[in-house]
Amino acid sequence: MDYKIVIDPGHGGLDPGASGNGIIEKNLALDISKHMYDKFRELNIPVTLTRTTDETLDPTERVNRILSSYSDDPKVIVISNHINAGGSDGAEVIYALRNTNNLSNSVIEQLASAGQNIRKSYQRRLPTDTSKDYYFIHRDTGKTEPIIIEYGFLDSTKDDVEQLKNNYQNFADAVVSGVLEYINIPYPSSNQYHTVLSGESLYSIAKKYGVSVDDLKQTNNLTTSLLSIGSILKIPIKDTTVDQNTYTVVNNDTLYSIAKKFNITVNQIKLLNNLNTTSLSVGQVLKIPPLSTPPTDYINYTVIKGDNLYSISKGFGLTQEEIMKFNNLTSNLLSIGQTIKIPTINQTISSYKVVSGDTLYTIANKFNTTVDEIKKKNNLLNNNLQINQILII
C-alpha cells in the first residue's frame, strides 16, 4: 500500500473548540476520527491517530505527531476533523497551497452523496505572507497532503445540528469513500443508504429492505422512531454467513488447495479475510465459510485448458456477470482445475464426472446424446478426456 493516512481529531483537552446545541467540537471530532480509523483499518490501509483521548495538543506537538507517524511524504494523507461555528450550514474542505483540489473535491462529492449540504472546497492564504497557508496543519506539515474538514455548523439554523448528531458516522464513511476514490481503491461498502420520503416510517423502510426496525435504529443510533423528510438512513446489509470456521495454514498450502479442500472459491477466502495477495504464511489462521451441502440450484464445473469465462457462460446460456456474481469473483481470470458454480435455476442441466475407461462415445450413449453435442456444450476441441473431469450433458 503506497498511501498512508494520519487522522487528526481537532482540538482536545483544554482546547474544546466550538460548542453549542449539545455538541462539543473536540468530542465529536474524536468520535468521527475513531469511526474513520476503524474503517481504514478494516480495509488494511495504514492509518494512525494524532490523539485517541481528550488530550491537549499544541500546534508543535500535533505537527510532530503527524510527521513522525510515517514520514514526510506526499503519499501521507492527513485528515484534520473539525466542526464549524458561525451560523451557516453545510460542509467545507480546505486544502494546502502545495496540493491540487482533487482530494478535497472527491471528499466533498462523497459528503454530498451522504446527504450533507456543501459550501465549498478551497485554499486559504496567510494575510501577512500570501505565499504561505493560513492554517498550520497545511503550512507546517512538510510534503504530506493535508485537508481540513469542517463537517457542518453546530449553531446552524438549518439541519446541520441534527445531521451532526445523528449522521456523523455516515459523513465519516463518506470521507473514507472520497479518500479511496482519490487513491483509486474500491470501497467494499457493507451498507446502502435511503433518503426518507413523505409518508415513510421506520417500519415501512425496514420492510422494504428486509431488515428489522431495531436493526435500523441501532445502525443509525436512533433513540426514537421519529423521522424527518430528507434525512439519510444507513441500511444494514445482512451478513449471510451464519457461522465461520477457521483453518491454520500448514507447509505447502496454497489458497487454491485450501479452497478446494472446503469446496469454496479462492475469492471467497480472500474477501472473508481481507487478503490483497495470494501469499500465505505457515501458522496463519484463515476464516472459512461454514461447510454446507451444496444447494440444488447450481452444479460444479471444473475449468480445463482452453476455457475462459466468456466461453463457459456462452455454453450455459448465461452472462459472464451472472457467473461472476454467483461465485463472488472479482476478476474474469480463471485457473485450470478451478471449480466454479454454474447456477441452474430455470435451466435443465446435468453433469457427469469422467471415470476410468470412459470415452465421449460411451458417455454419449449413456445419456442418449451425441459426441458432437457433448463437445459443443463443453467447448471441447478434441476427444481427449481426463479422469474426474466434469462434463455438462
One domain, residues 83 and 209 = no
Residues 251 and 113 in one domain: no
Residue 238 has which C-alpha cell? 445482512
Consecutive H or E run containing 12? none
Quick one: 172 and 200 in the same domain? no
Domain that residue 230 falls in: 191-236
Q: What pLDDT sits at residue 387?
A: 75
From first CA to last CA, the distance across the chain in angstroms is: 46
Q: Is the full-model pTM beyond 0.75?
A: no
Contact 12, 51 (CB under 8 A): yes
Instruction: Residue 262: name the closest of 339, 180, 318, 345 by CA.
Output: 339
Asked whether residue 120 falls in the same domain as residue 199, the answer is no
Q: Are residues 226 and 276 in the same domain?
A: no
Instruction: Extract the C-alpha cell encoding 298.
Output: 447450481
Specify the pLDDT at position 296: 42
Q: What is the pLDDT of residue 292?
A: 42
Q: Does 124 share its domain with 153?
A: yes
Kindly give, in sequence order, each residue whose CB lies less than 8 Å from that of residue 336, ignoring residues fewer than 6 positions away.
Answer: 303, 304, 305, 307
Burial class from Cβ neighbours inside 10 Å (0-12, 13-18, 19+) for residue 120 reads exposed
Residues 93 and 155 in one domain: yes
Contact 161, 21 (CB under 8 A): yes
Residue 330 in any domain: the answer is: no
CATH number for the domain spanning 161: value is: 3.40.630.40
In this predicted structure, what is the pLDDT of residue 298? 67
Residue 144 lies in a domain: yes
Q: Can you tell me which residue has the cell 472546497?
A: 121
Cα 180 to Cα 381: distance, rounded to the nearest angstrom? 45
CATH number of the CATH domain containing 282:
3.10.350.10
Residue 339 belongs to a domain: no
382 sits in the region (left: phi over 0; alpha: psi -120 to 50; else beta) called: beta
Residues 173 and 263 in one domain: no
| CA of residue 29 relative to chain centroid, distance | 23
Q: Where are the beta strands (DSSP E) in the chain?
A: 4-9, 19-20, 23-24, 47-49, 76-84, 91-95, 118-122, 125-126, 129-133, 145-153, 191-195, 232-236, 245-248, 285-288, 298-302, 339-343, 351-353, 390-392
Q: What is the DSSP letter of 274?
A: T
d(CA 218, CA 135): 38
Residue stretches of the chain with pLDDT short of 50: 189-190, 239-243, 291-296, 345-348
Q: What total of structural domains would you count in the chain?
A: 3
Tell me, yes or no, whether 27 and 172 share the same domain.
Answer: yes
Q: Are residues 116 and 30 part of one domain?
A: yes
- pLDDT at residue 237, rounded to an integer: 62
Label residue 375 exposed, middle or buried (CB < 10 Å: 0-12, 13-18, 19+): middle
